[in-house]
Structure 1
Amino acid sequence: MRNLTLLTDLYQLTMLNGYFEKNIHEDIVVFDMFFRKNACNSGYTIVCGIEQFVDYINNIHFSDDDLKYLKSLNLFSDKFLIFLKDFKFTGDIYAVEEGTIMFPNEPVLTVKAPLYQAQLIETALLTIVNFQSLIATKASRVCFAAQGDPVLEFGLRRAQGPDAGTYGARAAVIGGCNATANVLAGKLFDIPLIGTQAHSWVQKFDTELEAFEAYADIYPDKCLLLVDTYNVLNSGLPNAIKVFKKLKENDYKPLGIRLDSGDLQYLSKECKKVLDKEGFGDVSITASNDLDEYTISSLKSDGAAINSWGVGTKLITSADSPSLGGVYKLAASFKGDIIEPKIKLSEDPEKINNPGYKKVVRIYNESHKAEADLIMLHNEVIDESKPLTVFHPIYNWKAKTFINYKIKELHKPLFINGECKHEHKSVMEIRDYVKDELNTLWEGYRRLSNPQTYKVDLSDDLWNLKNEMIDSKKFL
């Protein structure tokens, strides 16, 4: 893991220096990381990137070269730089398990630590978790549109740089993609790889048939042919069928064809007719070419004969929704054992943070469907033997009472007193967990357009605390 300690905004370091000069740097504080709107105009967000954040915390330190560079900026005293030399995270971090479905304004991750430590990690946390959560959610939507067909991540060459391509591929598989074309991601994260040939392979040979025969000769048991280099129906498909027949004669099963241009609906249907007639009705028809959840949904609705989808640019860049606005806000400060809640006010009610040291519980019905989430103060307890009433935090006349229900606390310890408590899971294990999580959601929350809004409410104690603090601050 690279040392990413300087992957931060300058103002984090100037604030650290100020805290140090004012001798408040060791004060214990609580910060929450949350987002105000779901990724990709979705009804939910898949939290992703926790593993990389844990690696960041485990490796955070200021090297001699880092300190030399900071000294060259002429912004920091020698005393402060000497202090940074021994930097080590010693606080507590609680977070939801990677792959958990979350909703706006819920603490995804809570940091309780000395002020200078909690402040420094903000930028790296946001850049790691925001991006991967965005791509995981986008991939989930694409897979939902594909209705169980394999979805293949093809985005590396269109990604905003190597890290985005590599960690984006990781997030895409966690979100539901079956494989990636990114070889480095395959190696780093032990995820399935997929790939065939490009148009240049076909162009290099004197004829398309020769190109197909050469590929089949090298990969007889993995033969998926790109048929749109010249003309799909008059050249590509007939030549592919000639090769498929030779493979079949030698007891090999062709995988299928890929369409990368043209009218995918029309071409796939025409190809399917011919493949069926020639006895290859069971091979796959893979489509690529600037696909996203909306184009896939449209093609499925129109009866396209496509059963495998290669999705690149619009997935790896989340083209229609290119950022997740996760934020990191101070929620409390400690004076000894006394918690002093903190609040930021705004004319926009959605930008007023929930104060205090908090946790999140999820409420499930008897069929293990998620019904609502409740943001609570950390020391509150729910008695599941008694009815539980929740209400909308702004329109509080909207309320619902649960009788037969179960709850689950979503936060788990990542670090306690600086010691890592995180249990590593493989990408494919996290992918399975995401699938289980999505199965707890009613389909209305997963709709591609105008999804139903999931209930995220505040406990009575937190709601009262928040409104008391608003009343006490609004005339300052």
Structure 2
Amino acid sequence: MRNLTLLTDLYQLTMLNGYFEKNIHEDMVIFDMFFRKNACNGGYTIVCGIEQFVEYINNIHFSEDDLAYLKSLNLFSDKFLTFLKDFKFTGDIYAVEEGTIMFPNEPILTVKAPLYQAQLIETALLTIINFQSLIATKASRVCFAAQGDPVFEFGLRRAQGPDAGTYGSRAAVIGGCSATANVLAGKMFDIPVVGTQAHSWIQKFDTEIEAFKAYADIYPDKCLLLVDTYNVLNSGLPNAIKVFKDLREKGHKPLGIRLDSGDLKYLSNQCKDALDKEGFTDVSITASNDLDEYTIASLKADGASVNSWGVGTKLITSADSPSLGGVYKLAASFKNGEFEPKIKLSEDPEKISNPGYKKVFRIYNEENKAEADLIMLHNESIDESKPLTIFHPTYTWKTKSFENYTVKELLKPLFINGECKYKHKSVMEIREYVSNELNSLWEEYRRLSNPQTYKVDLSRDLWYLKTKMIDSKKFI
């Protein structure tokens, strides 16, 4: 397991050094991680990467090599570097379960720890969770567009490096992809892998039919042929049908064909007609070629005869929305025997943070559909036996009341007093959890364009606290 302790911004360490020099490094604080806008400009975000964050916390320590490098920067005293030798996370972390659907401005992870510990982990936390959550959400949108067809993640060669490719494959499967082409990800995370041949296989043989026959000889029960190397309708498809007939005569069932270029609607429909006429009515027609959720949705709406999809570049890079802006903000600091709430103000209203030690409840109706989330102070609770009314945190006259409802508290212990409470789940188990989460959402929140905004409200006490702090400006 890699030691990622120095996977941080330099200013985290200069701040740690400053806290140490001012003797406030042991002060207890609370930080929240949240995002201000959903991934992919959509209606929701799937939280992903929790397991890798747990691995990071479990392995965090400053090696002799690390300390020697920090000393070479001539920024830190020997006393501070000696202090770092025994660094170990001893605080509490609460987080949503990996695969949970979340929305802007609600904590997806809360850290309660000594200041120097809580500060150091910020950068690694953000890079781990932001990227994987982005790709999981993108994959979910692609799978939504595919309307139940299998989607295969093909993005490794176009990813921004090995880690992005490998952990992106993990996130893509969690988001709904059926399998990945990434063999290392398959091994590391025990997820299905897929793949057949590239155009170079076809080109290496003297003729296309020879290439197809050679592949069918080696993989008679897993024969899916790439038919667009030369000409789909005049060469690739007729040759594929010849090979498929030979396989059928020998008692084997061909898997199908793949199209990687051209007019995918026209070509898939022509291929489907020809294959059906020859009795190959149940073979797969897989399409690839720079696909994303919008292209797939368009092809589906136009009646393309594609029934599985290989999606690469635009998934692994989330090409149209290449980052999730998750942030990590101080919410409270221990002072005079109790936590004092902290708030960040901004001339941009959406950047004003929610102060205090908080928790999040999700409200479900009788059909187990998610209706709203309520952010509350840590000492508050909900009595499900009584009616509940919530209000919009900005347009406070807008309210919604519930009578027959249930609630679920979303933040669960990840670490308590430095002890790991995380229970491992396989990627496929997390994928199933994501599916259930998505089924709890009304479809208007899942629309690819102009989704409805999900309700995330503040409890009355939290709203009053935030409003009072904004009005007082006592911290300026």
TM over 0.5: yes
Letter of the 2:410 partner, please give it. L
Pairing 1:47–2:47 present: yes
1:337 shift after superposition:
4.0
| 3-state SS of paired residue (2:345) | coil
Match of 1:383 in 2: 383
1:336 shift after superposition:
5.6
| 3-state SS of paired residue (1:428) | helix
Q: Determine the C-alpha separation between the residues in 2 that align with 1:348 and 1:236.
A: 57
| 3-state SS of paired residue (1:319) | coil
5 Å-filtered alignment, 1:249-288, equals 249-288=249-288
Q: Determine the C-alpha separation between the residues in 2 that align with 1:277 and 1:69.
A: 69
Q: Determine the C-alpha separation between the residues in 2 that align with 1:141 and 1:300.
A: 14
Q: Determine the C-alpha separation between the residues in 1 that align with 2:30 and 2:346.
A: 20
| 3-state SS of paired residue (2:48) | coil
5 Å-filtered alignment, 1:70-89, equals 70-89=70-89
Match of 1:69 in 2: 69
Match of 1:320 in 2: 320
| 3-state SS of paired residue (2:354) | coil
Unaligned 5+ residue runs, structure 1? none
Match of 2:363 in 1: 363
- Cα deviations by residue, 1:199-252 (Å, 9 ceiling, x for unpaired): 000000000000000000000010000000000000000000000001101111
Letter of the 2:445 partner, please give it. Y
- Cα deviations by residue, 1:38-77 (Å, 9 ceiling, x for unpaired): 0001100000000000000000000000000000000000
Pairing 1:189–2:189 present: yes
Q: Determine the C-alpha separation between the residues in 2 that align with 1:316 and 1:383.
A: 43
5 Å-filtered alignment, 1:194-213, equals 194-213=194-213
5 Å-filtered alignment, 1:133-152, equals 133-152=133-152
Match of 1:450 in 2: 450
Pairing 1:157–2:122 present: no
Pairing 1:171–2:152 present: no
Pairing 1:412–2:412 present: yes
Q: Determine the C-alpha separation between the residues in 2 that align with 1:343 and 1:112.
A: 16
Q: Determine the C-alpha separation between the residues in 2 that align with 1:335 and 1:354.
A: 19
Letter of the 2:176 partner, please give it. G
Q: Determine the C-alpha separation between the residues in 2 that align with 1:475 and 1:261.
A: 60
Q: Determine the C-alpha separation between the residues in 2 that align with 1:412 and 1:213.
A: 55
Letter of the 1:46 partner, please give it. I
- Cα deviations by residue, 1:374-396 (Å, 9 ceiling, x for unpaired): 00001101111111110111111
Letter of the 2:158 partner, please give it. R
Q: Determine the C-alpha separation between the residues in 1 that align with 2:223 and 2:157.
A: 23
Q: Determine the C-alpha separation between the residues in 2 that align with 1:252 and 1:336.
A: 77
Q: Determine the C-alpha separation between the residues in 2 that align with 1:327 and 1:337.
A: 28
Unaligned 5+ residue runs, structure 2? none
Deviating above 3 A after TM superposition, structure 1's stretches of 4 or more consecutive aligned residues are: none
Q: Determine the C-alpha separation between the residues in 2 that align with 1:250 and 1:31.
A: 65
Letter of the 1:35 partner, please give it. F
Q: Determine the C-alpha separation between the residues in 2 that align with 1:75 and 1:390.
A: 50
Q: Determine the C-alpha separation between the residues in 1 that align with 2:358 and 2:78.
A: 38
| 3-state SS of paired residue (1:367) | coil
Letter of the 2:241 partner, please give it. I
Match of 1:330 in 2: 330
- Cα deviations by residue, 1:285-309 (Å, 9 ceiling, x for unpaired): 0000000000000000000000000
Match of 2:431 in 1: 431
1:475 shift after superposition:
9.0
Letter of the 1:292 partner, please give it. D
Q: Determine the C-alpha separation between the residues in 2 that align with 1:276 and 1:467.
A: 66
Match of 1:247 in 2: 247
Q: Determine the C-alpha separation between the residues in 2 that align with 1:429 and 1:355.
A: 34
| 3-state SS of paired residue (1:448) | coil
Letter of the 2:254 partner, please give it. P
| 3-state SS of paired residue (1:127) | helix
1:339 shift after superposition:
1.1
Letter of the 1:284 partner, please give it. S
| 3-state SS of paired residue (2:435) | helix
Length, aligned pairs only: 476
Percent identical across equivalent pairs? Answer: 87
1:334 shift after superposition:
1.1
1:335 shift after superposition:
2.4
| 3-state SS of paired residue (1:408) | strand
Q: Determine the C-alpha separation between the residues in 1 that align with 2:388 and 2:339.
A: 26
| 3-state SS of paired residue (1:140) | helix
Q: Determine the C-alpha separation between the residues in 2 that align with 1:149 and 1:337.
A: 57
- Cα deviations by residue, 1:257-308 (Å, 9 ceiling, x for unpaired): 0000000000000000000001101100000000000000000000000000
1:338 shift after superposition:
0.7
| 3-state SS of paired residue (1:257) | strand
Match of 2:128 in 1: 128
Q: Determine the C-alpha separation between the residues in 2 that align with 1:241 and 1:412.
A: 55
Match of 2:467 in 1: 467
1:347 shift after superposition:
1.4
Letter of the 2:343 partner, please give it. I
Q: Determine the C-alpha separation between the residues in 2 that align with 1:475 and 1:344.
A: 10
Match of 2:16 in 1: 16
Q: Determine the C-alpha separation between the residues in 2 that align with 1:155 and 1:427.
A: 18
- Cα deviations by residue, 1:391-439 (Å, 9 ceiling, x for unpaired): 1111111110111100000011000000000000000000000000000
Q: Determine the C-alpha separation between the residues in 2 that align with 1:60 and 1:336.
A: 31
Q: Determine the C-alpha separation between the residues in 2 that align with 1:27 and 1:154.
A: 47
- Cα deviations by residue, 1:138-173 (Å, 9 ceiling, x for unpaired): 000000000000000000000000000000000000
